[in-house]
Amino acid sequence: MNVLVIGSGGREHALTWKIKQSPRVQKVFVAPGNAGTASDAENIDIDPLNFAALASFARQHAVDLTVVGPEAPLCAGIVDHFQQERLKIFGPTRAAAQLEGSKVFCKQLLRSAGVPTADFWVFHKPAAAFEFVEERFGETPMDVPLVVKTDGLAAGKGALVCFTMEEVKKAIRRIAIDREFGDAGNRFLIEARLSGPEVSLMAITDGQTILMLPPAQDYKRAYDGDRGPNTGGMGAYCPAPVIDEETIAWAGENVFVPTIHAMKRARMPFQGILYAGLMLTPQGPKVLEYNVRFGDPECQPLLMRLQTDLVDILELVLAGRLAELQDVAWDPRPAICVVMAAEGYPNDYRKGDTIRGLETAAALPDTKVFHAGTKLVNGQAVTSGGRVLGVTALGSSVANAKLNAYTAVKEIRWQGAWCRKDISDGSLPIAVKS
């Protein structure tokens, strides 16, 4: 069979690499892809939001299955478009993708389904929001435990965590008056600020059966020790020992099951990857947000550990027969992914630098260098994005996986390349079952 992967980041390179391993797959196309997917598969130059062109490509090239990486095409309805054209595609419909595309939709669904999440209030106008915070916290302006969030997609930047009245008012102004996030801020939420460690818990579902995937943790801040600005994610590892088996099972029952049921009751059955960003608060796990796709970079260490044929799993989901899936096999070894970024990221960054040392890194055992912001120029990989590579490695322990990943990082260089040095730190030792 032939498969089409939509997207161009590290997550999509990992999906491509894994799908390519299936003995049933002949060709993998990636739209638009990067330098890494160009060598592992075949890139096609079509924009992920050009549904008509993608569908017509899929038809002309006998694509049997399309897999969507990023949220933008899902929220814009790529799955509905392909389904109307009777093309098989993995991911949620536009209606179901609102779980990520609209935080107001998500929070209202969580509330109605009784899923634990922070208290929240919805606003359309800044005046009502100012009035609300003054009324509630006017007497304690130095202690205002709130988060102000845009309703719509804002590339992970639309959540403004606040501690004082001044910060809350500034956040409301940025979203609703300066309109820094454009239409994403047409509606906005004020949420209670929670505290605790965060974990990325993903599940794959056909709308009926839910298969929980091993937990991962994402290092979102730019610099070591969790300092600096937020990024798309500077690294991740899996499994993350911050959450134990019992709590994962609890989240399955109390977070994923009621959410999937509520979506079904609302006639928006959810099929695809459901990713819960959980905060492990002293009162138990609470949902911070849902994403409707694999996390990036969480996908890279996760798929590095998956031993079962991913295409078999995706096809069972599409057939609504996930319940028939026998055991899923995971490499017992942990995996870590270190993101190598371009100089300047997450602000304006350098582009167009030639990347050296990729062959030496590729030859290291238990290591895979996934490309993100790269492109081929005259047969050479050059930087073209902020997050450039996701250097991913397995190891007998987290410490060993970390050593393997950073050994590969040392082989790779370009002008201004940098990465966090502490990915996976803070983790407890994981006992590797044989």
Question: What residue ranges bind ligand GLY (CB under 6 A)?
Answer: 156, 218, 233, 291, 295-296, 298
- According to DSSP, the β-strands at 210-212 and 198-205 are antiparallel
Q: Which of 147, 292, 338, 417 binds ligand AMP (CB under 6 A)?
A: 147
Smallest distance, ligand GLY to C-beta of residue 193, A: 19
| Cβ proximity to ligand GLY, 151 vs 353, nearer residue | 151
Of 97-136, which residues contact ligand AMP (CB under 6 A)? Answer: 118
Of 262-301, which residues contact ligand AMP (CB under 6 A)? Answer: 277, 288-289
Total of residues contacting ligand AMP (CB under 6 A): 13
Q: Are 45 and 21 in contact (CB under 8 A)?
A: no
Smallest distance, ligand GLY to C-beta of residue 232, A: 7
193 scored as a contact of ligand AMP (CB under 6 A): yes
Answer left, alpha or beta for residue 20, where phi above 0 means left and psi between -120 and 50 means alpha: alpha
Please choose which of ligand AMP, ligand GLY, none residue 315 contacts, taking the beta carbon within 5 to 8 angstroms, the exact cut-off set by kind. none
Please choose which of ligand GLY, ligand AMP, none residue 393 contacts, taking the beta carbon within 5 to 8 angstroms, the exact cut-off set by kind. none
Smallest distance, ligand GLY to C-beta of residue 42, A: 25
CA pair distance 325, 364, nearest whole angstrom: 33
Smallest distance, ligand AMP to C-beta of residue 218, A: 8
Please choose which of ligand AMP, ligand GLY, none residue 261 contacts, taking the beta carbon within 5 to 8 angstroms, the exact cut-off set by kind. none
Considering only the stretches 36-44, 80-88, 156-164, 356-364, report the one whose residues sit in contact with ligand AMP under the rule CB under 6 A.
Answer: 156-164
| Cβ proximity to ligand GLY, 16 vs 291, nearer residue | 291
Q: Which of 194, 238, 242, 338 binds ligand AMP (CB under 6 A)?
A: 194
Considering only the stretches 25-33, 186-194, 314-322, 411-419, report the one whose residues sit in contact with ligand AMP under the rule CB under 6 A.
Answer: 186-194
Smallest distance, ligand GLY to C-beta of residue 252, A: 20
The three-state (H, E, C) secondary structure of the chain, written as one string:
CEEEEEECCHHHHHHHHHHHCCCCCCEEEEEECCHHHHHHCEECCCCCCCHHHHHHHHHHCCEEEEEECCHHHHHCCHHHHHHHCCCCEECCCCCCCHHHHCHHHHHHHHHHHCCCECCEEEECCHHHHHHHHHHHHCCCCCCCCEEEEECCCCCCCCEEEECCHHHHHHHHHHHHHCCCCHHHHCCEEEEECCCCCEEEEEEEECCCCEEECCCEEECCEEECCCEEEECCCCEEEECCCCCCHHHHHHHHHHHHHHHHHHHHHCCCCCCEEEEEEEEEECCEEEEEEEECCCCCCCHHHHHHHECCCHHHHHHHHHCCCHHHCCCCCECCCCEEEEEEECCCCCCCCCCCCECECHHHHHCCCCEEEEECCEEEECCEEEECCCEEEEEEEECCCHHHHHHHHHHHHHHCECCCCECCCCCCCCCCCCCCCC
Contacts of 147 (CB under 8 A, 6+ apart): 118, 159, 160, 161, 162, 190, 191, 192, 193
Considering only the stretches 191-199, 268-276, 305-313, 407-415, report the one whose residues sit in contact with ligand AMP under the rule CB under 6 A.
Answer: 191-199
Q: Are 16 and 41 in contact (CB under 8 A)?
A: yes
Smallest distance, ligand GLY to C-beta of residue 423, A: 13
Please choose which of ligand GLY, ligand AMP, none residue 80 contacts, taking the beta carbon within 5 to 8 angstroms, the exact cut-off set by kind. none
| Cβ proximity to ligand AMP, 92 vs 269, nearer residue | 92
Please choose which of ligand AMP, ligand GLY, none residue 1 contacts, taking the beta carbon within 5 to 8 angstroms, the exact cut-off set by kind. none
Smallest distance, ligand GLY to C-beta of residue 372, A: 12
Smallest distance, ligand AMP to C-beta of residue 132, A: 16
By C-alpha distance, which of 58, 90, 128 is closest to 322? 90
Site string for ligand AMP, 353-392 (x = CB under 6 A): ----------------------------------------
Please choose which of ligand AMP, ligand GLY, none residue 194 contacts, taking the beta carbon within 5 to 8 angstroms, the exact cut-off set by kind. ligand AMP
Please choose which of ligand AMP, ligand GLY, none residue 193 contacts, taking the beta carbon within 5 to 8 angstroms, the exact cut-off set by kind. ligand AMP
Please choose which of ligand AMP, ligand GLY, none residue 291 contacts, taking the beta carbon within 5 to 8 angstroms, the exact cut-off set by kind. ligand GLY
Give the residue nearest to ligand AMP (CB): 159
CA pair distance 399, 359, nearest whole angstrom: 24
Binding site for ligand AMP (CB under 6 A): 118, 147, 149, 156, 159, 161, 191, 193-194, 198, 277, 288-289
